[in-house]
Structure 1
């Protein structure tokens, strides 16, 4: 394991790489075509009230794309479902479900850099996780040519497993405050959540926008901030518009955001806890396939087992053979009866921040989404196909739902995290 030297990664608890190879450097997303992701869909039923459409978009943020599609169709966003969000600065194909919408209405929708192709019917609306995985073709440009010879070694590392961190974009690729907004919501600090979301500036924003954000936090003048912020900052403007009409109603301002975006704030805090527990595991000198008593093993057939001092040698054997992976349960509204070391770390971190299971239940009532918690493998493993052209490298690979392509690229590049966004 090699520690990351970058403050932003340490802040988000992405503190280790899986190997000691020098990175190849470079930059992602010189153009959107450098980051191509295709969703691998589930099997659809062929009939039912939901129209399934394949959406291909270029340089569109997910929530804004959904908003525009709903507006063009003249329907509520609640009638649109999707299996997973995709990167903004990319060419991304994914699937959406539309409740009781016919294909002819979709064919009439015209949006720049978005195509929507009806492909069939489904009995159910799509929800997060309703996909088999994603395929990626990613070009890293401007690499350090003297380090390109390490690509086979790094590819072997990824094959055996790298930290399955929640990637930078989970916390906001340009402005990584999603988890802190979620923490404020969990603590009932709605004003603080609004101030963070509206008031924290993007590093690459114009000075005028940065000043407008700072002025809002300083003065609380929603009307002035609404006048100063550009139209493209639609979510911030929606909150400011509400506050300009309903002074100090910060809870109501948050409710102007799409429910799924609100839920992402809270789940980002859970993601931060997982990253922290995984990094603390490495602090203890454990590798991704070195179990300790209290760990949960997930076998390839879906069966799970708890590691004890007695079965520790057998657990090591199964992990070395690739028959199982170590997983940790990310806490939420349910109290864990017998937490393992990683769960204990997450619970401790959350309690130190003033959050307990009841806070997740309160947030669930506010957002309208359950935060029960879920198990997550601590290792990401995949086969890499690589191609080198001058100082550019193309990586092709597939990942299951919930795993981050940028985590794979990070292991190869080992550079400033802002080169990944």
Structure 2
């Protein structure tokens, strides 16, 4: 499947040029932002880990082997890219045990930068944000046009599409979701089940967002919308007063789209009709998500970009730094700026 089939139209116009991302791991750096003070004592050992060209699940397995504990004793807040240089937290549950020797884990792209004890394990989604430092190389484009586009992105945000990574190479995860949905079955393997269910929900969300980008309402509140703050999972309906809320203008409050589950869309008026129309294009997937017991959730349609800054170390290199809420994709920012030459599945 193509990028446009999996995502949707751009909001800020055609790309201002082309570039390469991830020529080397250091071109895509991610730092987990975790606002949890560690006590220094307890039965959980927390590790601040730097990894290069290694995904989160592989790193967890390596740490578990070195510590001599089952994989289920390892926790992490979120998944990070494989083809990147990333720093994130892990925790090990070690009741009644001293700190293990983890030297065997520290090779081939994994380094433990900090260690600390704490009373509780690291929970999924516990981090508050992710900080990104991206280097776009082999850049072709006028700096003035790129600067103008970046100023617009900084002021207005970008559509909060799920990135191509969510769907696998050439949409393989979505193909898998449709395959199992057609049979009315769930994969037995837990990781595959989670990956395919997520791909199905993400695709439906992207289709709704694509419709809103197409009609120009992705960053506007309409009556019947369900609104949410940037860092909140709760939402509330938009009436006339909510549609004029000044927090919409400062990118603190946003319209949301559906993450499908057992319940139908709780949006109102034309918004519900739009969301239901998208769901009707994939009835097997919608029923399959309900069969799996997924709860209906909401995701903000507009992605605000925190602390966006940029410079050109060389005429053909653009370096970007910014912070995104958890679960959001840096490639959604890059996509509104340039096309990525020869890369379709990052």
TM tier, smaller: 0.7 to 0.9
2:145 matched to which residue of 1? 150
1:399 aligns with 2:324: yes
| Matched residues, number | 339
Is the Cα–Cα contact under 8 Å of residues 17 and 337 in structure 2 kept in the other structure?
yes
2:117 matched to which residue of 1? 121
The CA RMSD over aligned residues, in Å, is 2.8
1:372 matched to which residue of 2? 295
1:354 matched to which residue of 2? 283
Is the Cα–Cα contact under 8 Å of residues 200 and 285 in structure 2 kept in the other structure?
no
Which deviates more, 20-29 or 136-145?
Answer: 20-29
1:48 aligns with 2:42: yes
What secondary structure does 2:195 align onto? helix
Aligned pair in 2 of structure 1 residues 111, 342: CA closer, same or farther (>3 Å)? farther
**Which residue of 370, 373, 384 maps to 2:308?**
384
Is the Cα–Cα contact under 8 Å of residues 36 and 92 in structure 1 kept in the other structure?
yes
Between Structure 1 and Structure 2, whose CA radius of gyration is higher?
1
1:280-295 counterparts in 2 under 5 A? 280-283=211-214, 285-295=215-225
Q: What TM-score do you get using the length of structure 1 for normalisation? A: 0.72
Distance in 2, matches of 1:189 and 1:63, equals 28
1:20-419 counterparts in 2 under 5 A? 20=13, 22-46=15-39, 47-100=41-94, 102-145=98-141, 147-159=142-154, 160-172=156-168, 174-188=169-183, 254-255=187-188, 257=189, 259-283=190-214, 285-299=215-229, 304-308=235-239, 310-311=240-241, 314-315=244-245, 317-338=246-267, 341=270, 344-355=273-284, 359-364=288-293, 371-382=294-305, 383-388=307-312, 389-415=314-340, 418=343
Gaps in structure 2 of 5+ consecutive residues: none
Aligned pair in 2 of structure 1 residues 413, 357: CA closer, same or farther (>3 Å)? closer
Distance in 2, matches of 1:30 and 1:161, equals 26
Which deviates more, 299-308 or 116-125?
Answer: 299-308
Aligned pair in 2 of structure 1 residues 307, 416: CA closer, same or farther (>3 Å)? farther
Distance in 1, matches of 2:110 and 2:269, equals 45
What secondary structure does 1:16 align onto? coil
Which deviates more, 407-416 or 163-172?
Answer: 407-416
Deviation at 1:124, TM superposition (A): 3.1
Aligned pair in 2 of structure 1 residues 79, 64: CA closer, same or farther (>3 Å)? same
Is the Cα–Cα contact under 8 Å of residues 9 and 417 in structure 1 kept in the other structure?
no
Q: Name the structure where helix makes up a greater proportion of residues.
A: 1
Q: What TM-score do you get using the length of structure 2 for normalisation? A: 0.86
For residues 340-379 of structure 1, the C-alpha deviation after alignment (integer angstroms, 9 at most, x for no partner) is: 6555544444444333776335435xxxxxx323221111
Is the Cα–Cα contact under 8 Å of residues 162 and 288 in structure 1 kept in the other structure?
no
Deviation at 1:175, TM superposition (A): 4.0
Aligned pair in 2 of structure 1 residues 66, 162: CA closer, same or farther (>3 Å)? same
Deviation at 1:301, TM superposition (A): 9.0
Gaps in structure 1 of 5+ consecutive residues: 1-6, 191-250, 365-370
1:16 aligns with 2:9: yes
Is the Cα–Cα contact under 8 Å of residues 251 and 304 in structure 2 kept in the other structure?
no
